[in-house]
């Protein structure tokens, strides 16, 4: 069952489509984070401003150097020892769709530890976007049943995994990390 869902989601991502999927935090909308058209489509679906940046997900911290120019050593410790999902905003984003990157050149990255996301990203071999599965300005859904049916209808594929889960999940902690290693919390 899990492998089948990963295969289906992978095919949609490879074709430039948008998936609705469970993450280690809230349900998300995802696409190829290197595909500008796919990213623009998520903004269109959500009714969200095009200048708002995205969080991207990676399956391992060894891929950070592919998408960030300078990674302070402390980043690896933060990722390894974080007890809850942690998104780190890095300066100097590279090799990503322009509309994923913040106006200041930064990008939020979370190394995900999740039974669906991790193998999906590993097989896709590229980062995927992760933005909450809601229309802009609406609350983030922590369980599948809280997602607006119109949003469900707007995506190319809805992952059939964890839809029955009633575990209330929260968005990740967000931390901004400078190349010098200084950090500040954006969301706890």
End-to-end, the C-alpha distance of the chain in Å comes to: 34
CA distance 188 to 114: 20
Model-wide pTM > 0.85: yes
Three-state SS at 19: strand
Of residues 96, 88, 87, 99, the one with CA closest to residue 179: 88
Whole-number mean pLDDT of the chain? Answer: 95
CA distance 56 to 37: 16
Q: What is the CA radius of gyration of the chain?
A: 15
Domains and CATH numbers, the chain: 2-187 (3.90.870.10)
- What pLDDT score was predicted for residue 51? 84
Query: What would the pLDDT profile of 42-64 be if each residue is shown by its tens digit?
Result: 999 999 988 888 999 999 999 99
CA distance 7 to 83: 29
């Amino acid at each position: 069952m899990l492998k089948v869902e990963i295969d289906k989601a992978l095919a949609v991502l490879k074709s430039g489509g948008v998936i609705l999927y469970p993450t280690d935090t809230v349900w998300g909308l995802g696409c190829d984070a290197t595909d500008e058209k796919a990213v623009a489509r998520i903004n269109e679906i959500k009714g969200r401003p095009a200048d708002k940046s995205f969080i991207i997900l990676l399956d391992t911290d060894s891929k950070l150097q592919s998408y960030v120019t300078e990674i302070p050593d402390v980043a690896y410790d933060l990722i390894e020892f974080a007890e809850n999902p942690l998104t780190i905003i890095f300066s100097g984003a590279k090799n990503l769709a322009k509309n994923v990157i913040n106006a200041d050149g930064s990008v939020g990255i979370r190394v995900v530890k999740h039974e669906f996301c991790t193998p999906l990203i590993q097989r896709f071999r590229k980062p995927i976007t992760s933005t909450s599965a809601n229309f802009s300005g609406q609350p983030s859904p922590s369980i599948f049943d809280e997602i607006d049916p119109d949003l469900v209808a707007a995506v190319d594929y809805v992952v059939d995994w964890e839809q029955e889960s009633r575990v209330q999940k929260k968005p990740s902690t967000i931390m901004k990390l400078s190349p010098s290693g200084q950090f500040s919390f954006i969301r706890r």
